[in-house]
Chain A
Amino acid sequence: MSIGRIAIPPPLAAVLLAIVLFLLSGLLPNGFGSNPDIAASQATNIIRLAVFLGIVAAGQTLVIISGAEGIDLSAGAVVTLSAIVTYSIVNGNNENVLLALPAALIVGAAVGFVNGLGVTYLRIAPLVMTLGMAGVVTGLIIVITQGSVTGAVAPVMTQVIARPLVLGIPGAILIWAVFGALMWFLLQRTTYGKNLFAVGTNRITSRLSGVNVTGMVVGTYALAGMLAGLAGFLVVGNTGVVHIRIGDPFLFPSIAAVAVGGTLLTGGKGSYWGTMAGALVLTLITSLLTTMQMPESVRRMVLGGTLLIMISIYGRQRGLRQ
């Protein structure tokens, strides 16, 4: 985005947008007004809510960067599935947490792996493939739960994720900070990250430069699934209860968050910290709408409109005239 001759990088624009939205929310009748203490706790709360969206959107960021209309519409269903897996494995016991975490990750990675095989070897459009897999995973959830989710959250999970951990900052936010650093490291300081940007920019060039494009794409979908699995695990710790649609509300905002964060929807360019800012913006929009007592319908339209505006800014295709 550029205003006149001053160019603002999209992630920074997203952060500024988040701040403006937050300040605006203070002006609402039941906002924080001019009380800094309430404002601070409200800000903390918003960020804590943004964490889960932010982690779902991390996987989304990776598949979108990988290009070729990459997207993961199964993320919502995977969050639900891994939340249920976590919930039933943990079953109230702290000792089982160490078993539940890898299980949640593996379940997510497995779904992502199938997505990856579908979009590479079978050449199914990613949106169609992952939408189909969302249905399969939802079906699987019904088979597993037979309509009722049983289990319980472990005290240690609630303690670490939902409660203030250090200096009054909730554990989830600390986890997100570490996670964000790891994502930066993955994208900027590993061969995988460098190859991911290459594959997303131009697959022919990448292949002719020795990058295993198919392997990269399959791996990226699997990793995205795994991150959705991680989000499911964390969501359980935050809410303490699980229902069979718990992951659905994360799906569309996760894509919008990536777009708001300035990641090119055509692939090859983007950052996770942009997505983090995007997740904050979307969480703010959602909570603003909730504060204003807007119904679900308006929320959907605002989300759809936000994404549409972002595509219009970043997603133009080449014209026909040469």
Chain B
Amino acid sequence: MTISLSARNVAKRYGAVTALSDANLDIRSGEVLALIGANGSGKSTLSKIINGVVVLDGGQLLVDDRPVHFQSPHAAKSLGISTVFQELSLVPQMTVAENIFLTREPLRGGLVDRGAVRQKTEQLLALFAGMFKTDLTPDTPVGPLPPDEKQIIEILKAVSFNPRLLILDEATASLDSRQVQRLFELVVRWKEEGKAIVFVSHRMEEIFQIADRYTVLRNGATVGEGPMQGVTTRDLVGMMVAGVTAENVVHRARPTAEELAARKVTLDVKDLRAEAVHGVSFQLHEGELLGLGGLRGQGQHQLLLALFGDIRHSGNITIDVTPVHFTHPRQAMENRLALVPGERAKEGLLLIRSILENFLIPSWRRYGFPLRIGKARQEATNVSMSLNLKMAGLDAPVSSLSGGNAQKVVIGKWLLRNPRILMLDDPTKGIDVGAKAEFYKLLAQLCGEGKSVLLYSSDDEELIGLSDRVLVMHDGSIRTELIGESLTKSNLVAASLGATQEALP
């Protein structure tokens, strides 16, 4: 049952982006290791390397002091390493029991022993007895269950392997406090049984409650480790953010609250509701760069889509003085809104088409009938030059571009339409440092021209460095507004973790 696992100098690159440069981690039986770090510090990549989903580029992984090379998640499982994924691996149409024991169904005479499956599932469900809001049985289909119950089933699925090492990757993010407490009781029991547990979480209080030791990642490297005894939240947050030089962030003169209030309101949102957005109200001013912060998946994505008319929503939205209700992005676009979506390849680009066509998708109508291709090409050329786009030519497929350059095309297609309100959904994800710096300059310049920018970023430094003001979202609503003096990294981290306005210094 005992296990020891070490990661030594692990490195992983995705194209030009370095996810991990020098990650180190040690864990052995009977302990809970907290793996912590700010958004984008490489926690997820490291846990995916440990469970075989991602193959490392450099460094070494040792299990029981022997080097291992996982070619698939299956290889890691056979060594007793099991993971609770944040993106769930459940089949919605199948029942709880079927999902938990998929590929490992107990057999009797060649047939699935349904009694045994049900019984074993019931034993597993009993671990969380009283924690379900629905009357959950082994035969309940998984699809319609609420997110917390799906998460618990994902945890039970991982545990049903009886693993030696269990990785909980943000497994508590969708659980309520009672469910978290129960999970922790179980973690303690598993620990005593000799399991090793890697606990990846953003929630400090949980880390202090459950972890024995910590490993802190910053920018893809391990910057601290040790026993939890004797450290404070302050120390840990310090390690997560300390030493950060915001050299690639453009510092602009931030307007004060009074100065902002004096400016014209370009976008006024009152009680906006949509899927995962539960009543959001705010105002966006002329020339303002308004940041949206918070942990991933707190409704920021849906908020932007709702404003752009892509998903159903209710509430009062006013642009300048005109009330609007968009039911299609085209209407938002004609009111000079623009959205740079979060999934560049899936939502922002036409990968197999040319750079030229990617620039022009929203704008073809302007070039008349028949299309004045020459004029369109000229304007696309101008934008690509102003964005300093590095490309083989406008007719090259957009898939030939690097992440940063491809993102410039997504932004460029909107700049061609000269928008007044630019919304961006985590635009620098997977972009190298050089391109980020250019990008920050561009945003600053656009604000300088009087455009309003609404920026969601999962990179906290970026938000602090760029924004005039940051609204921190939690569970579909705006929990905290950070402006002026209160706009600091530690406040942002604290607010993301759920601290309310009043609790901040």
User: Would you call A150 an interface residue if the criterion is a C-beta within 8 Å of the partner chain's C-beta atoms?
Assistant: no
Binds A, one of B131-139, B204-212, B364-372: B364-372
Looking across the interface, which residue of chain B has its beta carbon closest to that of A201?
B350
Interface readout for B330-364 with A: 1 if CB under 8 Å, 0 if not? 10111000010100001111111100010011101
Residue B329 is within 8 A (CB to CB) of chain A in the complex: yes
Q: Determine if B16 is an interface residue (Cβ-Cβ < 8 Å).
A: no
Q: Write the A166-203 contact mask toward B (1 if CB under 8 angstroms, else 0).
A: 00000000000000000001000111001101100110
Q: Which residue of A lies closest to B353 (CB)?
A: A201
Interface string of B314-334 (1 = CB under 8 A from A): 000000000000001110111
The verdict on A290 contacting chain B, using a C-beta distance below 8 Å, is no
Number of interface residues of B (CB under 8 A): 32
Within B194-218, the residues touching A (CB, 8 Å) are: none
Give the segment of A126-134, A136-144, A207-215, A233-241 that binds chain B: A207-215
In the bound complex, CA of A194 to CA of B53 (Å) = 39
Instruction: Verify B370–A204 contact, CB threshold 8 A.
Output: no
On whether the beta carbons of B349 and A202 are closer than 8 Å, the reply is yes
Q: Does A205 contact B (CB under 8 A)?
A: yes
Contacts of A208 in B (CB 8 A): 308, 310, 329, 339, 341, 347-348
Across the two chains, which residue of chain B brings its CB closest to A213?
Answer: B328
Please state if A198 and B330 are interface contacts (CB–CB under 8 Å). no
B127 within 8 A of A: no
> Which residues of chain A in 210-266 are interfacial with respect to chain B, using CB atoms and an 8 Å cutoff?
210-212, 264
Chain B 271-295, CB-CB to A under 8 Å as 1, else 0, gives: 0000000000000000000000000
**Is there an interface contact between B371 and A209, defined as CB atoms closer than 8 Å?**
no
Chain B residues closer than 8 Å to A269, beta-carbon distance: 352-353
B341: A residues at CB distance < 8 A:
208
For A266-295 the 0/1 string (1 means CB < 8 A from B) is 001100000000000000000000000000
Please tell me which one of the listed residues A194, A204, A212, A321 contacts residue B357 in the complex, with CB atoms under 8 A apart.
A194
Whether A206 is near chain B, meaning CB under 8 Å from some CB there, is: yes
Asked if A204 and B347 make an inter-chain contact with CB atoms under 8 angstroms apart, the answer reads: yes
Check A211 against B330 for contact (C-beta < 8 Å): yes
| Chain B residues whose CB sits within 8 angstroms of the CB of A321 once the complex forms | 72
Best-surrounded residue of B332, B348, B413 (most CB of chain A within 10 A): B348
| Contact indicator B329/A197 (Cβ below 8 Å) | no
Interface pair A194/B364, CB less than 8 Å apart: yes
Tell me if A191 and B353 are in contact (CB < 8 A).
no
Could you tell me the distance in whole angstroms from the C-beta of B196 to the nearest C-beta in chain A? 26
Q: How far is the CA of A167 from the CA of B357 in the complex (A)?
A: 41
Does B396 sit within 8 A of A, measured CB to CB?
A: no
Chain A residues contacting B353 (CB-CB under 8 Å) are: 197-198, 201, 268-269
B373 at the interface (CB under 8 A from A): yes
Compute how far the CA of A198 lies from the CA of B363 in the bound complex, rounded to whole angstroms. Answer: 12
Chain B, Cβ-Cβ closest to A197: B353
Q: Note all chain B residues with C-beta closer than 8 A to A322.
A: 53
Q: Do residues A206 and B352 form an inter-chain contact, with CB atoms below 8 A?
A: no
- Bound-state Cα–Cα, A189 to B357, Å: 12
How far apart sit A207 and B333, CA to CA, in the bound complex (Å)?
11
Question: Quick check: A185 and B370 within 8 Å, CB to CB?
Answer: yes
Quick check: B352 and A201 within 8 Å, CB to CB?
yes
List, in ascending order, chain B residues with CB within 8 A of A202's CB.
346, 349-351
Q: Report the Cα distance A191→B357, complex, angstroms.
A: 11
Q: Are B362 and A209 in contact (CB under 8 A)?
A: yes
Task: Determine whether the beta carbon of A210 is less than 8 Å from that of B333.
Answer: yes
What distance in Å separates the Cβ of A210 from its nearest Cβ neighbour in chain B?
4
B352 touches A268 (CB 8 A): yes
- Give the shortest distance, in Å, between B490 (CB) and chain A (any CB): 35
How many whole Å from B340's CB to the nearest CB in chain A? Answer: 9
Residues of A within 8 Å of B370, CB to CB, are 185, 189-190
Residue of A nearest to B349 (CB): A205
- Report the bound CA distance from A190 to B369 in whole Å: 6
The answer to whether B330 and A210 have CB atoms under 8 Å apart is: yes
Q: Are B371 and A189 closer than 8 Å at their CB atoms?
A: yes
The answer for the CA separation of A201 and B310 in the assembled complex, in Å, is 19
Q: Which A residues touch B369, using CB under 8 A? A: 190-191
For the complex, what is the distance from the CA of A185 to the CA of B360, rounded to whole Å? 18
A126 to B287, CA, bound (A): 48
Q: How far is the CA of A205 from the CA of B414 in the complex (A)?
A: 13
- A134 and B371 CA atoms in complex are apart in Å by 36
| A69 CB → nearest B CB, Å | 17
Minimal beta-carbon separation of A285 from chain B (angstroms): 29
Say which residue of B330, B348, B352 sits within 8 Å of A212 (CB atoms): B330
Complex Cα–Cα for A151 and B361 (A): 48
A198 and B357 contacting across the interface, CB-CB below 8 Å: yes
Q: Which of A202, A211, A321 has the most CB of B within 10 A?
A: A202
Max chain A Cβ within 10 angstroms of own Cβ: one of B349, B361, B367: B361
Chain A nearest CB, measured from B454 CB (Å): 16
Q: Is the CB of B361 within 8 A of A212?
A: no
**B334 nearest CB across to chain A (Å):** 8
Nearest-CB distance from A189 to chain B (Å)? 4
Q: Are B361 and A209 in contact (CB under 8 A)?
A: yes
How far does the Cβ of B337 sit from chain A's closest Cβ, in whole Å? 10
How many Å lie between the Cα of A59 and that of B20 in the bound state? 51
Give every chain B residue within 8 A of A197 (Cβ-Cβ): 350, 353, 357
The residue of chain B having its C-beta at the shortest distance from the C-beta of A186 within the complex is: B370
| Contact A198 to B350, CB < 8 A, known contacts A191-B364, A212-B330 | yes
B350 in contact with A210 (CB, 8 Å): no
User: Closest residue to B339 on the A side, CB-wise?
Assistant: A208
Q: For window 216-245 of chain B, which residues contact chain A by CB distance below 8 Å? A: none
Q: Which residues of A contact B351 (CB under 8 A)?
A: 201-202
Partner pick for B361 among A185, A190, A206, A268, CB 8 A cutoff: A206
A212 x B328 contact (CB < 8 A): yes
The CA of A205 and the CA of B53, in the complex, are separated in Å by 28
Q: How far is the CA of A179 from the CA of B349 in the complex (A)?
A: 32
CB distance from A226 to the nearest CB of B (A): 19
By the criterion CB–CB under 8 Å, are A205 and B330 in contact? Answer: no
A210 touches B362 (CB 8 A): yes
Most chain-B CB neighbours within 10 Å: which of A191, A207, A210? A210
Q: Which residues of A contact B334 (CB under 8 A)?
A: 210
Q: How far is the CA of A211 from the CA of B370 in the complex (A)?
A: 18
Tell me the minimal C-beta distance from B422 to chain A in angstroms. Answer: 14
Cα–Cα distance between A15 and B341 once the two chains are bound (Å): 41
- Determine the chain A residues whose CB is within 8 A of the CB of B367 once the complex forms: 191
Q: Are A204 and B346 in contact (CB under 8 A)?
A: yes
Q: Mark B357-391, 1 if CB is under 8 A from A, else 0.
A: 10011101101011101000000000000000000
Interchain residue pairs A-B with the least CB separation, the first 5: A210-B330, A201-B350, A209-B361, A189-B370, A210-B333
The 30 sampled A-B contact pairs (Cβ below 8 Å) are A189-B370, A191-B364, A191-B365, A191-B367, A191-B369, A194-B361, A197-B357, A201-B353, A202-B350, A202-B351, A205-B346, A205-B347, A205-B349, A205-B350, A206-B350, A207-B310, A207-B329, A208-B308, A208-B339, A208-B341, A208-B347, A209-B333, A209-B362, A210-B329, A210-B330, A210-B332, A210-B333, A211-B362, A264-B352, A269-B352
Starting from the known contacts A191-B371, A202-B350, 15 additional A-B residue pairs (CB-CB under 8 Å) come to: A191-B364, A191-B367, A194-B364, A194-B371, A195-B361, A202-B349, A202-B351, A204-B346, A205-B349, A206-B361, A207-B328, A208-B341, A210-B334, A268-B350, A268-B353
| Interface set of A (CB-CB < 8 Å, partner B) | 185, 189-191, 194-195, 197-198, 201-202, 204-212, 264, 268-269, 321-322
